[in-house]
Chain A
Amino acid sequence: ETGVTQTPRHLVMGMTNKKSLKCEQHLGHNAMYWYKQSAKKPLELMFVYNFKEQTENNSVPSRFSPECPNSSHLFLHLHTLQPEDSALYLCASSQELPSGRADTQYFGPGTRLTVL
């Protein structure tokens, strides 16, 4: 148990569906992240939120829409996905320090997404 939870753990959706992934961190951290992990590729950063404000959007297609209502919760809304979007989606949190350094980053267990 890392203090970061994700639901659902598995999701199968069609290309026309709309679904949402949820992440919650119980660590009191001020930064949250979405990553995509595909087979045989390094982790790809998608979005970063610091103090609920989005600070990074790594050229992610608009069919992925993040939402951070507060510093403990992060959502990833999915709409009209493609089969190549099938991957493990990981949420993480960290404590960003005023110096620009970061405390450790903790990951959730991930959501295994399959797009048919």
Chain B
Amino acid sequence: GQQLNQSPQSMFIQEGEDVSMNCTSSSIFNTWLWYKQDPGEGPVLLIALYKAGELTSNGRLTAQFGITRKDSFLNISASIPSDVGIYFCAGHTGNQFYFGTGTSLTVIP
């Protein structure tokens, strides 16, 4: 199946720092989604992107749909302790969503 490469795998940052993570694919997607998952819970949708080049914000989160349609990034500004969790990207093509391996974020107060 399609492979999404998500990086970095994990991040340890100080509270207040900005965070950036990205996903790349060898395939073109028509939708990119970013999720956050807390332990033992389902992923919660953060941002949805539908057009190449689209830049969308949700509070301190900003995500972009790459121009080539093969990549996307997520930025978190001024991180806070509750940002801790695993962040997943997902791309849609055909009738399926494909997921990245996740970025584990730890915020040190």
| Interface residues of A, Cβ cutoff 8 Å to B | 2, 4, 6, 31, 33, 41-43, 45, 48, 50, 55-56, 58, 88, 90, 92, 94, 96, 100-110, 112
Contacts and interface: CB of A to CB of B under 8 A. Distances in A.
A54 B91 CA distance: 21
B87 to A, nearest CB: 13
B103 to A, nearest CB: 12
B36 to A, nearest CB: 11
Interface residues of B, number: 25
A104 B41 CA distance: 18
Contacts of B95: 31, 48, 50, 55-56, 96, 100, 102
Interface in B1-33: 1, 4, 30-31, 33
Interface string B40-59: 11111100101000000000
Nearest to A56: B96
A43 B35 CA distance: 12
A78 to B, nearest CB: 19
B92 A48 contact: no
Contact of A101 (B1, B31, B45, B88): B31
A69 to B, nearest CB: 20
Interface of B: 1, 4, 30-31, 33, 35, 40-45, 48, 50, 88, 90, 92, 94-97, 99-102
A107 B44 contact: yes
Contacts of A109: 41-42
B40 A88 contact: yes
7 contacts: A6-B42, A42-B99, A43-B88, A45-B1, A45-B97, A101-B50, A107-B43
A110 B44 CA distance: 12
A105 B33 contact: yes
B72 to A, nearest CB: 14
A106 B40 contact: no
B83 to A, nearest CB: 19
A102 B100 contact: no
B45 A90 contact: no
Nearest to A43: B99
Contacts of A103: 48
